[in-house]
Amino acid sequence: MASILPSLSTAGSPSSLLNFTPTVNLNDPADFSQWDNGLVASQQDALRQMYSGDTLLHRASTRTLDSIGLVSPLVDHEYQPSNGASYNDDELSQQLKTVARMIKLDAGLRVATVDYGGWDTHEYETDGNGGYIADLLGNLANGLANFYLDLDSDYMDRVSVVVISEFGRRLVQNEAYGTDHGHGSVMFTLGGGVNGGQVFGAWPGLHNDQLYDHADLAITTDYRQVLSELLTRRLGNTDIPTVFPGYSPSGDLGIYRAI
């Protein structure tokens, strides 16, 4: 039986999933429902008859109806996280809560993406008492901690989380008390099969001659190396050249244990 919900995006259509048609875009289950007026069953029956063929359109419509049927029962029920987890009301925490709910449906979810913006910190990163960069980091830590706690009892051994940014920040503060676009950054990973509690990769150093362009932290680990190891060890996908055209992993960092 085909998976009803193989991939999920909680924030629009990320480029990483654009070519995968079964992806469901879902920020909140309450937004993912069919019109009602007491006619849901008859409406779905009519739509399934209309889209009963085998074209791409018909298959996409059937997947949509299957997804609506799966998620709709959640709309009228308040979600209760497990293990005492308590999600905040910030953007990231609510997206992670949605992912946790979808994982617990056991509908075949394999990949989920969330997005948390606001990191383009050109001005006033701090105000003497932390500031908004501290708030962002606090929300990130809180959201991930509650997501882990929520799924820890039955699911976390099968879940691996990767936190990644498309660019870093400069080392030196600018005139507006912020930091401009930089080069090197950092990735976090947690969950099942992670050899945690350690830092992987080489430290490039902060001396002037060790910095990229004499200004930024140098990149020592290709992000594709981390994701390739995740795909191989956790998803059993060894066809890395198809996922990342033109890229060949240079060894194994040892971040993940095999399933």
Tens digit of each residue's pLDDT (9 = 90 or more) over 142-196: 999 999 999 998 899 999 999 999 889 998 989 998 999 999 999 999 998 899 9
Spell out the domain ranges in the chain. 1-154, 159-259
Tell me the C-alpha distance between 225 and 156, whole Å. Answer: 23
Q: Are strands 111-113 and 24-25 parallel, antiparallel or unpaired?
A: unpaired
The residue type at 148: Y
Q: At what angle do helices 40-50 and 56-71 cross, to 10 degrees?
A: 160
pLDDT at residue 100 in the model: 94
Per-residue pLDDT reduced to its tens digit, 25-74: 777 777 666 555 555 667 777 777 777 778 777 777 777 777 666 666 66
Beta bridge partners of 24: 8
> What are the strands, taking DSSP E only, across 1-98?
7-9, 24-25
Taking residues 236-244, report their average pLDDT. 91
Tell me the C-alpha distance between 239 and 140, whole Å. Answer: 32
How many Cα atoms sit within 13 Å of 52 on the Cβ side?
Answer: 7
Tell me the C-alpha distance between 188 and 205, whole Å. Answer: 20
pLDDT at residue 129 in the model: 65
DSSP state of 16: G
Residue 97 has pLDDT above 80, yes or no: yes
Beta carbons of 71 and 33 less than 8 angstroms apart: yes
Per-residue pLDDT reduced to its tens digit, 28-40: 777 666 555 555 6
- Token code pair at residue 122: 């050109």
Q: What is the DSSP string of 87-118?
A: --SSHHHHHHHHHHHHHHTTS---EEE-----
1 band by pLDDT with thresholds 50, 70 and 90 = very low
Q: At what angle do helices 91-104 and 132-151 cross, to 10 degrees?
A: 10
How many Cα atoms sit within 13 Å of 138 on the Cβ side?
Answer: 9
Number of H helices, E strands in the chain: 6, 5
Across the chain, mean pLDDT equals 85
Say what the pTM is.
Answer: 0.82
pLDDT at residue 34 in the model: 54
What phi and psi, each to the nearest 5 degrees, are found at residue 120? -85, 75
Residue 235 has pLDDT above 60, yes or no: yes
